[in-house]
Amino acid sequence: GRKLIIDTDPGVDDAFALALAARSTEVDLVGVTTVFGNVPLEATTENARRLLNRFGRADVPVAAGAERPLVHAQSRSSSVHGADGLSGRSASLAAAERELETADAVSMLVSLLERTDEPVTIAPIGPLTNIALLLAAHPRIRDRIERLVIMGGAIGRGNITAAAEFNVWADPEAARRVLVEERVPVTLVPMDLTRRCAVSTDWLAELAEGNAIGEVLVSLTGDYLDHYRKELGYDGIVLHDAVAVAEAIRPGILETERFPVDVDCSFGPYRGATLLDQRRWTHREANGEPDGPSIEVAVDTDLDGLRKFVLDGIRG
Ligand code: BDR
Ligand code: CA
């Protein structure tokens, strides 16, 4: 199958996304890189290694990447995933058998991308720092990337702030570099769509029913479930990252539209917001505005079909 690399900051929904890719027969998961985000880098790296090990994928190399944003340090972190990123349950997963790669994330990405003859899909599901560094330091590597399928951005309301989605907000300068400055094929999967792909506690029960991997994943959901119960009054969770990884595994499972995009890197209330130019092309042309860089943005999907794809994919 197509080769896939995941760049991640586990994170409960990252864990679901990793399980989906690790167990897919449609793609070949060739590497995982980690980034700071939901919790500090040391924890996201440990979580990624333990998860892959638990999913029976000790063959997948893991390399650690950026421990902070490119330019401006973040003042807040996300508490949604618990202190260790996995609802306090990280230590319930056995330590990984496989050593962490001595190479850093960018170096491993370069060697994985150079090694294969066909272009590789990368699914970044955390802050975009590693990907910005990769593209900045290795401009020629662009040709080796088939597509970036990114979980990030908010067209309407944000989550970490009123305007911004967490992954973009956590390193807006990096996100701007990747989404706006680089001409690499991008499919952005914003939270406007991912939050519609919420799954209920019934869905979680079905995932765990007689399935060891499903059971492990559900055991990691405690703090994340509490968040959705308390803050949104919803009895279930949102699988943001798994939605992007589903698209990386099965291109076209999400419906996309092309939009010019920008990222707000100012220090006002819109810092980290993603701005799509949703005026019609004809309108823009009539006004004589040059079309800026544009990307594919996931706008819709068959929600039940997607939930089934994730459920079946993880259950294997
Ligand atoms: C994104 O932020 C993180 O908390 C999740 O893992 C996901 O990648 C959603 O905004
Ligand atoms: Ca994530």
- Distance from the alpha carbon of residue 60 to the mean position of ligand 1, in angstroms: 23
Across the beta sheet with 62-64, the strand order is: 62-64, 27-34, 2-8, 120-124, 145-151, 186-189, 294-301, 254-263, 274-276
pTM: 0.96
Residue to probe by mutation, ligand 1, list 6, 38, 77, 157, most atoms within 8 Å of CB: 38
Give the pLDDT score at 122. 98
Q: For 240-282, what is each residue's pLDDT tens digit?
A: 999 999 999 999 999 999 999 999 999 999 999 999 988 876 6
In this prediction the ipTM stands at 0.99
Give the pLDDT score at 57. 98
Cα-trace Rg, the chain: 18
* Continuous segment of H or E residues that includes residue 7: strand 2-8
Q: State the Cα–Cα distance between residues 221 and 16, nearest whole angstrom.
A: 10
Burial of 218 (0-12, 13-18, 19+ CB in 10 A): buried
Residue to probe by mutation, ligand 1, list 76, 241, 243, 245, most atoms within 8 Å of CB: 241
- Pick the atom of ligand 1 nearest to 78's CA: 4
Handedness of CA 109, 112, 118, 120 (dihedral sign): negative
Q: For 83-127, what is each residue's pLDDT tens digit?
A: 999 999 999 999 999 999 999 999 999 999 999 888 899 999 999
Length of the chain: 316
- Distance from the alpha carbon of residue 167 to the mean position of ligand 2, in angstroms: 7
Give the pLDDT score at 293. 76
Checking DSSP bridges between strand 198-200 and strand 236-238, what pairing results, if any? Answer: antiparallel
C-alpha distances out from residue 16 to 8, 132, 141, Å: 11, 25, 29
- Distance from the alpha carbon of residue 113 to the mean position of ligand 2, in angstroms: 22
Ligand closest to Cα of 167 equals 1
Given a cut of 70, the residues of the chain with pLDDT beneath it are: 75-78, 281-292
- 240 as an active site residue: the answer is yes
- Pick the atom of ligand 1 nearest to 38's CA: 4
- Pick the atom of ligand 1 nearest to 12's CA: 6
Task: Report the pocket of ligand 1 as residue ranges, CB < 6 Å.
Answer: 11, 13-14, 38, 78, 80, 125-126, 151, 159, 165-167, 191, 240-241
- Distance from the alpha carbon of residue 14 to the mean position of ligand 2, in angstroms: 5
